[in-house]
């Protein structure tokens, strides 16, 4: 497991040493949090949520930060292809599964840190955590989101050579995934046909799980959310591992 730890540590160190990357990744989540939260807080009322609209969207913005950071971690695979690091790693006497796991854990850890930064900022904006146990529940769902979408990003990056093409595909994929997750609106208020679509979005269950942990309420049973998101995470791991084994240098 040394290779898993080494690749995990490499990803984390690269992130910590790149302040521009850290700050840049916070830009869009902070924009949504401040502009939507404060802009609509006085005019939008969500039944069952005592903290107002800004309290409602905080779990969604935390999930958004984790999602964006994790799924774009796959670009590291393309970067390593172009600069020869991946070739050196693949010829080492280690399995490709270990390499994929190390990359996934590294990307998910960075995504979790980004989500934690947004969560800490939200505390200064008036967010109140329901309980310490709820905090741990939110952590669990953040980690599951990070692992799931990092594995998805690696799976897609394994079949690509161009970084610009990867970014375009990710932007095309990420906006519907976030927009349909119920991060900025309650899914119970949607028309039945649209609610059915949101329930096919795996991020919906991550958002609702974090919302349950932080606020104590959600539109989806947390056990159901954990089960479905956990199944999605396993599928992404298997898919990512399979496609990574097919990487050609």
Model confidence pLDDT, tens digit, residues 144-163:
999 999 999 998 888 887 77
Calculate what percentage of the chain has a pLDDT beyond 70: 92
The predicted model gives 31-56 an average pLDDT of 73
20 or 171, which is more confident? 171
Is 90 exceeded by the pLDDT of residue 129? no
C-alpha–C-alpha distance, residues 52 and 115, integer Å = 21
Confidence of residue 47 (pLDDT cuts 50, 70, 90): low
- pLDDT tens digit sequence for 61-119: 999 999 988 988 888 888 877 777 777 777 777 788 888 899 899 999 999 999 999 88
The predicted model gives 7-29 an average pLDDT of 80
Confidence at residue 172, expressed as pLDDT on a 0 to 100 scale: 84
Q: To 10 degrees, what angle do helices 96-124 and 52-71 make?
A: 160
Confidence at residue 249, expressed as pLDDT on a 0 to 100 scale: 64
Is 80 exceeded by the pLDDT of residue 229? yes
Confidence at residue 149, expressed as pLDDT on a 0 to 100 scale: 94
Which of 94, 190, 105 is CA-nearest to residue 148? Answer: 105
Residue written as token pair 């989540």: 29
The pTM of the full predicted model, rounded to 2 decimals, is: 0.91
Report the phi/psi class of residue 218: left, alpha or beta, with left for phi > 0 and alpha for psi in -120 to 50: beta
The predicted model gives 170-178 an average pLDDT of 86
Radius of gyration of the chain (CA): 18
């Amino acid at each position: 497991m040394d290779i898993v730890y080494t690749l995990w540590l490499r990803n984390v160190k690269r992130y910590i040493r790149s302040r521009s990357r850290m700050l840049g990744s916070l830009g869009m989540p902070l924009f949504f949090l401040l502009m939507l939260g404060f802009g609509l807080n006085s005019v939008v009322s969500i039944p069952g949520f005592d903290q107002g609209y800004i309290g409602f969207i905080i779990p969604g913005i935390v999930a958004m930060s984790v999602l964006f950071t994790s799924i774009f971690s796959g670009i590291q695979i393309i970067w390593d292809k172009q600069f020869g690091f991946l070739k050196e790693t693949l010829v080492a006497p280690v399995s490709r599964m270990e390499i994929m796991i190390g990359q996934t854990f590294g990307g998910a850890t960075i995504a979790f840190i980004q989500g934690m930064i947004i969560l800490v900022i939200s505390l200064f904006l008036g967010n109140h955590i329901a309980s310490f146990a709820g905090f741990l529940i939110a952590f669990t769902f953040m980690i599951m989101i990070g692992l799931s979408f990092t594995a998805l990003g690696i799976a897609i990056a394994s079949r690509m050579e161009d970084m610009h093409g990867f970014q375009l595909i990710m932007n095309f994929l990420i906006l519907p995934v976030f927009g349909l997750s119920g991060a900025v609106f309650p899914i119970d208020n949607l028309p039945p046909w649209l609610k059915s679509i949101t329930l096919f979005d795996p991020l919906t269950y991550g958002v609702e799980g974090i919302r349950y942990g932080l606020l104590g309420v959600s539109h989806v049973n947390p056990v159901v959310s954990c089960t479905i998101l956990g199944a999605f995470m396993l599928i992404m791991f298997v898919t990512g591992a399979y496609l990574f084994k097919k990487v050609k240098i």
